[in-house]
Structure 1
Amino acid sequence: MCYDDNARPPVPPVEGGSAHGEDIVLTAADGNRFAAYVAYPDKPLGAQVVIYPDVRGLHQFYKELALRFAETGIQAIAIDYFGRTAGLTSRDDSFEFWPHVQQLQLASFFSDVKAAQDYLHTSQGGKQPTFAVGFCMGGTLSLLSGTQDLGYAGLVGFYAGLSRNFGGNGTALERAGEIKYPVLGLFGGADQGIPADQVEALEQKLEETGVEHEIITYPGAPHSFFDRRSTEFADASTDAWNRILRFIAAHSAK
């Protein structure tokens, strides 16, 4: 599990504005109803993010992360993965997520992503450059989203697992050559689940295909270092926030 119920996202290192958010329910093209949380900036800057959570789905960490993005002026929506198999139930620490992770299908996930994008593009912010921001399993799904025609302006992946194969469709590392959007990858150097040679192979594949990318590894940082409680990695979290905001600003301008 990536984050427990007590985890909280670090505060962005910029002077923020006010924002407000709400729980909503979205409907995908196949009729699936799934939970999401949307956060609106009071002073929008003209960019949007779709947040892909970790294996637990939509829990409090990601709702607060959506608000932190909105406080920087970026409209955000965080989505749940398990509407088809777990309905609209809570995703707190008691949620037995693994049976639902095992049933996750990429095609249905991308259908849910499209519903979230459509919501953003028809909301008060209108259609703006949109980015995927994922964590752990969500980081993997962020990279895999880059192989689809989802119209993203860029992809951000925290500690993206590179060897997980969803439904026999290939791992993120195997499919890295198909990624068509700019990538910002953020990894912990002490993350036991993501070997350094896999991160290096990802960077090499993106180099070979010419996709714009920035792959950053923070020495000594573990999986899930991006947490307000991890004060010893506060500098890494601050740097990660700065890189994300620069990445979004640069590719929104394009």
Structure 2
Amino acid sequence: MENRRGGHRTVGTMCHSMDSRPPAPPDPRPVAENAPVTLRSTDGSRLAAHVALPAGPPRGRMIVLPDVRGLHPYYRDLAVRFAEAGFATAAIDWFGRTTDDDERGADFVFQPHIAQVDPRDVAADVSVAMTHLAERGASGPAFTVGFCFGGSQSWRLSAGPVDLAGVIGFYGRPVLVRDVVPEMRRPSLLLIAGDDAVTPAREFERFTAELAAAEVPYEAHTYPGAPHSFFDRAYAQWGEACADAWRRILDFTDRHGATPPPA
């Protein structure tokens, strides 16, 4: 359910399980660093993150926005995958303002915490993560990629104050973005599960029509039959969809300022 500032009051489903792991990018490159860090947001709040840096010059910066459970193992691993794709990457947590516990086990009760996530704080935390990567030597164009709740928050940043080259979201919820559609101006990529149990296809059809009417620079691709959370190497039947999603992400970021690694 939506609150007045684009957050959740309650969420009944989770995105990726504790056993989920993201698929590898095409032509993965060596990773120089891969470690958890603790940052401070602009209001002094603790910001847990997982940083992964490529061994060579980065093609850009990527901030990973997780699902409703926050920074659990799937997203720590995803930071490494984006570093393998050439991005200086930080996956960030949602919950430093409401809990001191950075563990996201299967028994983590996320509902009371996700209800308090404010999109204004998300924008601040993304900016802090971008600055941290710049301080580590990665000052190129920055992008966000989010999943489920994080996909919604990533799309919202198309309208926000953060200096992003583009925003990417997997199976986000249009209801959490609709209020900022008139202000969305940054390039946006929507990767949609065709059989999403959380958001029906007609809702995405309505959403893309609203984006087009508002002249938002967006691209959308639907994977017919794919379930919510299909971007998972455990789903062998969706391997080609995962590979295609990677290709679309890399093409989108390259067209919007990233520097592809040498062949």
TM-score per shorter chain, which class? Answer: over 0.9
Deviation at residue 135 of structure 1 after TM alignment: 0.2
Offset, 1:111? 1.9
Separation (CA, whole Å) in 2 of partners of 1:18 and 1:101? 32
Determine whether 1:209 maps to 2:214. Answer: yes
Answer whether contact 2:61 2:130 (CA < 8 A) is retained: no
1:15 CA drift (Å): 4.2
Flag structure 2 segments of 5+ consecutive residues without an equivalent: 1-13
* Aligned residue number for residue 240 of structure 2: 235
Number of the residue aligned with 2:3:
none
Alpha-carbon shift at residue 253 of structure 1 (Å): 5.2
Between the aligned partners of 2:121 and 2:255, the Cα distance in structure 1 is 31
Kindly report which structure 2 residues correspond to 1:1-254, keeping only aligned pairs within 5 A, or say none. Answer: 1-125=14-138, 127-163=139-175, 171-252=176-257
Letter of the aligned partner of 1:97 in structure 2?
F
CA distance in 2, matches of 1:19, 1:239: 26
Look up the equivalent residue of 2:33 and give its one-letter code.
H
Count of matched residue pairs? 246
User: How far apart are 1:69 and its partner, in Å?
Assistant: 0.8
Identical counterparts, % of pairs: 40
User: How far off is 1:118 after superposition?
Assistant: 1.4
Distance 1:210 1:6, change over 3 A: same
Q: Judge conservation of contact 2:31–2:52 (CA < 8 Å) in 1.
A: no
**Secondary structure class of the residue paired with 1:194:** coil
Q: TM-score, normalised by structure 2?
A: 0.89
8 Å Cα contact 1:34/1:88 also seen in 2: no
Per-residue deviation, 1:208: 2.1
Residues 39 and 49 in structure 2, CA contact (< 8 A), matched pair in contact too: yes
Q: RMSD in angstroms over aligned alpha carbons?
A: 1.5
Moved more, 229-238 or 105-114: 105-114
Query: 2:61 touches 2:142 (CA, 8 Å); kept in 1?
Result: yes
Amino acid in the other structure paired with 1:245? L
- For the 8 Å contact 1:189–1:218, the answer to whether it is kept is yes
The separation in 2 between residues aligned to 1:151 and 1:89, in whole angstroms, is 28
Question: Is contact 2:185–2:217 with CA below 8 Å preserved after alignment?
Answer: no
Query: C-alpha offsets along residues 121-145 of structure 1, whole Å, 9 cap, x if unaligned?
Result: 22122x2100010000000000111
Question: Does structure 2 conserve the Cα–Cα contact (< 8 Å) formed by 1:19 and 1:71?
Answer: no
3-state DSSP of counterpart to 1:219: strand
Q: Retained in 2: the 8 A contact 1:173–1:198? A: no
Runs ≥4 residues deviating over 4 A: none
1:4-38 alpha-carbon deviations (Å, 9 max, x no partner): 11000001122433342110001011110121001
Instruction: Mark the runs of 5 or more structure 1 residues left unpaired by the alignment.
Output: 164-170
**Native 8 Å contact 1:35 1:88 kept in 2:** no
Matches of 2:32 and 2:189 in 1, distance apart? 25
Partner amino acid, structure 2, of 1:214: E
For 1:87 and 1:77, the matched residues in 2 are separated by 19
Letter in 2 for 1:41: P
- Between the aligned partners of 1:118 and 1:15, the Cα distance in structure 2 is 25
